[in-house]
Amino acid sequence: MSTQAISHPAAAAPRSGTNAAATRLVLRIGFVLLAAVFVVATLLPLLVLLKVSISAPQDIMTARPPFLIYNATLEHWRALLNPATLYGPARHSLLVATGTAVLGVLIAAPAAYVISRMPRTWRYGLILGLLFTQMFPDVGIAMPVAITFLRLGLNDTDLGLMLAHLVPTLPFVAWILVGTFEMIPREVEEAAFVDGNGKIGTLARVVMPLAAPGIAVAALFAWLKSWNDLVYAIYLFLGERTLPLMTFYYSNRGSVFDTATFAVLLTIPVMVVTLALQRYIEAGTLSGAIKG
Amino acid sequence: MRLTRRQFGALALAGSTTLLLAACGQSSTGGPASAGGGQTTGGGQTTGGGQTTGGGQASGKPGTAGGNGGGGSVSFVTALAEDERTALGEILKGFESSAGVQVKMIQMESQDVVNQLKAKKTAGKVDVDLVAQDNLRLGPLVRDSIVEDLSGESARVPETTIDALVPVTQFDNKRFFLPYRPNVQIAFYNEAKLSAAGLQPPKTWDELLKAGQTLKEKEGIGKLAIQGAAGDPLSVTVFEFIKQAGGDPLALNDAGTVKAFEFMAQLEPLLTPEYRTAKFDTMNTIISNDTAYLGSNWPFGINVIVDKNGRKDIKAYQGWAGPNGESHVLGGEVLGIPAGAPNRAGALQLAEFLMSKDTQAALLTKLGWPPMRTDAFGNVPEWQKPYFQAVQEALKHVDARPNVPYWEDVSRAMNDAFRDIVQQKQPAKETLDRYASAIQKAKQAAGA
């Protein structure tokens, strides 16, 4: 009896360790499989678009299009990469999206910092207010915004479109940044202040660098939202078009090849910007900030 | 050299300022519109083809404008594809040199025209002089007083204008628009597949049913397509079936309408499942990738299906007739002048030029657009001729959609009745009675 009583825990320990290892393995395999599903679900539509954009019609216009490309062609790209067609819209889209992101962060960051340092009650009220603005769909407010901007002579200008894009973007950017600044411990600021940094110095040298990941996320969001916008561009841009409008109009023409080619073209800068900003979006940037 | 934080900050600030200053620059407002353009019932690329009605040969030189010159420049809103815009630009050069008026083409899709012009009007900043707008999207322009009453300009409309176009330009016996270009749907079909099934392109409802049954038995799935996407596409489809049965879409519960809905209910199981999302753009794909072997679309599909998608084996004909004969919705575009247009005289001058015999002939020759008058003639590329022939045949049997202020209610009722009767197999007469009553209420509410 006693032997058994003693041997039981000793025997259970390795089994328990084995079980835990097996569970970890199963979880890891499950995670990898799930990640693979997400990767495929994300990339497959892009691959289909790319395939259509470089395929000859006979590879696509059949009841069962093959997965591989048997008749590759750059004809659709050649037709689209026409400087007269592409240069203006690409310039407008890049300028407006970048301007919206820069302006959005410049305006929202100080406001968000102040909100994050407010008493809890005020803070939540203001955050709810910021979220409340997201309840209105762009199509619902685009017309009054357009009328106001037309009166101000801001139609057909990149600045006008940037400002219009800031209407829906700014509250969301501010909301993201409030969360970011809330995560920065006040002790860090106090320590910097004790070290002789003034208010502005503390903000510039300590708070903002620590908030860089959040700012990158906010800028990325603002850039993407502006880059993809169709609603405001339709109302405010009658001269040269933006790239999303071009994609929309080409898809309206009924040719899947033109649509796919423009859609791929529209996606490339998104991937570049996302990859460029991704290195700033690292988990655990703030961990250890108040250690040592 | 490493930048200090201060230097980096200064550079970032300078960059942001430069960006903002660059952004303040005016884009090419009103300049030649960029590519694209939405398909309208008259827009998009139509086919070309041999001669149109009447005789004679176009000189290819656009006519000179009549009327009093507006001078300056005219902003002309139109939705065109890239090659259409280039061709129209060439034609307009003749107008610019002869009339001394510069034309600025602005790309605006037909579905955006109402809201964009409404915004401009409300802001008191109307900078558009002339609009080419889809025939099927005119109601809101008149209802919201976005376009001018052009009753006083009726004398400018050519006497040789196709009769069916006249009612399209009028609301309550007032002329709000000038005719520009007619358009009509034709039926595309896969010649080889139909032949393999021992079928000819169906010319009657009975033949259409038989074709649907034969193809479904052979392929195991429906191979016919109608434009069943909710909204305007389905409205056009239902309207045509009703007229082919001798019904009245504004009444919606007469014997002809009941017959049309009963027929559509019979046809529905023989359709490809994709018909539910089929409209002007998706129909091209459905036909091109053999999802369906027969389906109707606007003639711009010829360039997409045959030329771009490389399906030279897809042919076209004018479509089928019902018990009351053939009927096609008259699509196309008309010209309107926005209220408050800065250069009204120039706009009228340009409109007159666009309606002229030589310009209509040039539009046919260069773009394959069917003329809006019976005395304009032109030539189109050889390969397009059979398709254009189909367009010409269909144009002989067009019905203009009635310009009534409650049309949106009628359109909604037709859509809802299609869902209830054709898709959910509810009894036709009782269901239509219900929707007819709703239309009557809408009519009374509109004071019509």
Amino acid symbol at B330: L
Chain-centroid distance of CA A119 in Å reads 30
Q: Between A92, A249, A258, which is nearest B38 by CB?
A: A249
Nearest CA in chain A to B306: A57
Q: Which of B148, B158, B193 minimizes the C-alpha distance to B314?
A: B193
User: pLDDT category, B36, cuts 50, 70, 90?
Assistant: very low
Q: Provide mean pLDDT across the span B24-36.
A: 38
Q: Is the pLDDT of residue B234 over 90?
A: yes
pLDDT in tens, B399-444: 988 888 888 899 999 999 999 999 999 999 999 999 999 999 999 9
pLDDT tens track, chain A, 292 positions: 444 444 555 555 566 677 888 899 999 999 999 999 999 998 999 999 999 999 998 888 887 888 888 889 998 898 888 777 788 888 999 999 999 999 999 999 999 999 999 998 888 898 888 888 888 888 888 889 989 999 998 888 999 999 999 999 999 999 999 989 998 888 888 888 888 888 888 888 888 888 988 898 899 999 999 999 988 998 888 777 888 888 888 777 767 888 899 889 889 988 888 888 777 766 544 444 444 3
DSSP class per residue in A158-180: HHHHHHHHHHHHHHHHHHHHHHH
- Local structure of residue B277 (DSSP, 8 states): G
pLDDT in tens, B364-409: 888 878 899 989 877 888 888 899 999 999 999 999 888 888 888 9
Q: Provide mean pLDDT across the span B74-101.
A: 90
Return the CA Rg of chain B: 24
Q: Between A62, A153, A255, which is nearest B308 by CB?
A: A255
Asked if B5 lies within 8 A of A257 by C-beta distance, the reply is no
Residue B347 in contact with partner chain A when CB distance is under 8 A: no
> Which of chain A's residues have a Cβ under 8 Å away from the Cβ of B25?
157-158
How many angstroms separate the Cα of A156 from the Cα of each of A89, A98, B31, B342, B344?
12, 17, 11, 18, 23
User: pLDDT category, B148, cuts 50, 70, 90?
Assistant: very high
Interface test with B, best of A87, A158, A238, A258 (most B CBs within 10 A): A238
pLDDT in tens, B322-342: 999 999 999 999 999 999 999
What's the pLDDT score for residue A289?
A: 42
Q: For residues B430 and B413, what is the distance between their CA atoms, to the nearest angstrom?
A: 14
How many angstroms separate the Cα of A14 from the Cα of each of A6, A28, B97?
15, 21, 95
Q: Is the pLDDT of residue B38 over 80?
A: no
Q: Exposed, middle or buried, A33 (CB in 10 Å: 0-12/13-18/19+)?
A: exposed
Specify whether the CB–CB gap between A60 and A256 falls below 8 A: yes
> Which of chain B's residues have a Cβ under 8 Å away from the Cβ of A254?
39, 44, 280-282, 284-285, 300-301, 304
What's the pLDDT score for residue B9?
A: 53
Q: Between B5, B120, B280, which is nearest A150 by CB?
A: B120
Specify whether the CB–CB gap between B74 and B67 falls below 8 A: no
**Does pTM top 0.95 for this prediction?**
no
Asked if B23 lies within 8 A of A241 by C-beta distance, the reply is no
What's the pLDDT score for residue B27?
A: 43
Q: Between B37, B44, B119, which is nearest A143 by CB?
A: B119
Nearest CA in chain B to A150: B123
Which strand (E) or helix (H) includes residue B297? strand B294-297
